[in-house]
Structure 1
Amino acid sequence: MGDTQRNAPASTVADVRLGAGSTVSERATLGYEYAADAGATVLGADATVRSGSIVYADVRAGDGFTTGHNVLVRERTELGDDVLVGTNTVIDGETTVGSNVSLQSGVYVPQETTIGDDVFVGPGAVLTNDPYPVRRDADLDGPALGDSVSVGANATVLPGVSVGERSFVAAGAVVTEDVPPETLVAGVPAAPRDLPEPLDGPNSIA
């Protein structure tokens, strides 16, 4: 059973609208209906949704949306053009993602997160939104990644942290405080450093 342009069984889906040239695996689910009044799932032209992926109702993506395998994109997520969501990555809903964004394998993106344009998030990186898990009631507050931010593999960004445009988060860093634009942060907890010349400038994500 290869990849074909199709929708999941009607019993599990809301309205699904696919742009021209889109390819959806027979083992993927589009428009998972999480509530009786769930809205449409809208994917732009040339989308590719691979097997095991589930895209909820009330998700809107621009042209060139691409998933790996076993991806989860939950409700009220807005994605721009040319967004890659890698294998085993979770976007937990109520999130905005810009255009030309690459979320590599095993990334976790929680609710109330904002990701700008031309952003790269490396394998296994974790963004968080709960400042006091289980211990205290608090509003969920995901991170905000500015345009052309790069986040290295296995980095963790804590709730409410803003990472300024063109900044670079090193692999394995734990980011506990806001990062100014054009800054390198590394370590646990992450400490700011001058951005080396080879890392200076915007991302170019094809």
Structure 2
Amino acid sequence: MAARLGADATVDDDVHLGYGDGAPPVVGDRATIRAGSIIYTDVEIGDDLTTGHGVLIREQTTVGDDVVVGTDVVLDGNLTVGSGVSLQTGVYVPPATTIGDDVFVGPRAVLTNDPYPIRTDVDLDGPTLEDHVSIGANATLLPGVTVGEGAFVAAGAVVTEDVPAETLAVGSPAQSRDLPTELDGRNRIR
């Protein structure tokens, strides 16, 4: 199945575009998709996408403009990623997740969507990351939490409840506190 690629797109060998049944994926202008990546059908991606190697983007995913999807990132389908987003190496994003604009997610961060894996049949409810959120390396976000606009989640934090806007979440379980002055402001990703 042929993908619809925008102008000046670069696709390495060993990339699979259009895996599965459905509409061909749509990828905007100036995309760079590196070897080992798989992009399913029913995916829409804006302009200026850059992937690392071995990226997986499942069906029913919408990705904005100016997005970096690092090596070994999994966007596990049925989710939305805004514009100006940077997902670093090894990030896992489950279905039913919403990521706003100008969001940074550090290496090996894990977002989850199932509060009782295997034990109970419940609706999946991924996290919501509002605009200008930063998530540190190896942080874990539990199902259904919202990280408010401009909030910062420290490396290794385990977020079990909502993080208010413009705060810092630290620890396991994470506790929110005032955002230090040096972390105040907006992410400058694009």
Please tell me the TM-score bracket, short chain as reference: over 0.9
Deviations 1:161-194 (A, max 9, x none): 0000000000000000011100100000000110
**1:102 pairs with 81, 86, 89, which one?**
86
Give the corresponding residue for 2:42.
58
**Matched residue, 2:9:** 22
Q: How big is the shift at 1:111?
A: 0.2
Judge conservation of contact 1:143–1:161 (CA < 8 Å) in 2. Answer: yes
Paired with 1:179 and 1:189, the residues of 2 have a C-alpha distance of 12
Q: Any unmatched runs of 5+ in structure 2?
A: none
- Within a 5 Å distance, the mapping from 1:68-147 to structure 2 comes to 68-147=52-131
Q: How many residues align?
A: 190
- Runs (5+) with no aligned partner, structure 1: 1-13
Q: TM-score, normalised by structure 2?
A: 0.99
Contact 1:15/1:57, CA 8 A, preserved across alignment: no
TM-score (norm 1): 0.91
1:2-50 deviation digits (Å, cap 9, x = unpaired): xxxxxxxxxxxx3410000000011111111x22xx0120000000000
SS at match of 1:198: helix
**In structure 1, how many angstroms separate the alpha carbons of the residues matched to 2:16 and 2:68?**
17
Contact 1:15 / 1:39 at 8 angstroms: preserved in 2?
no
Code of the residue aligned with 1:24 in structure 2: it is: V
Percent of aligned positions that are identical: 66
Cα-to-partner distance string for 1:54-110 (whole Å, 9 max, x where unaligned): 011111010001110000000010000011100001000000000000000000000
Q: 1:186 aligns with which of 160, 166, 170?
A: 170
CA distance in 2, matches of 1:39, 1:17: 10
Letter in 1 for 2:17: L
1:156 is aligned to 2:143: no
Residue 39 of structure 1 aligns to a residue in which SS?
A: coil
Could you say what secondary structure the match of 2:96 adopts?
A: coil
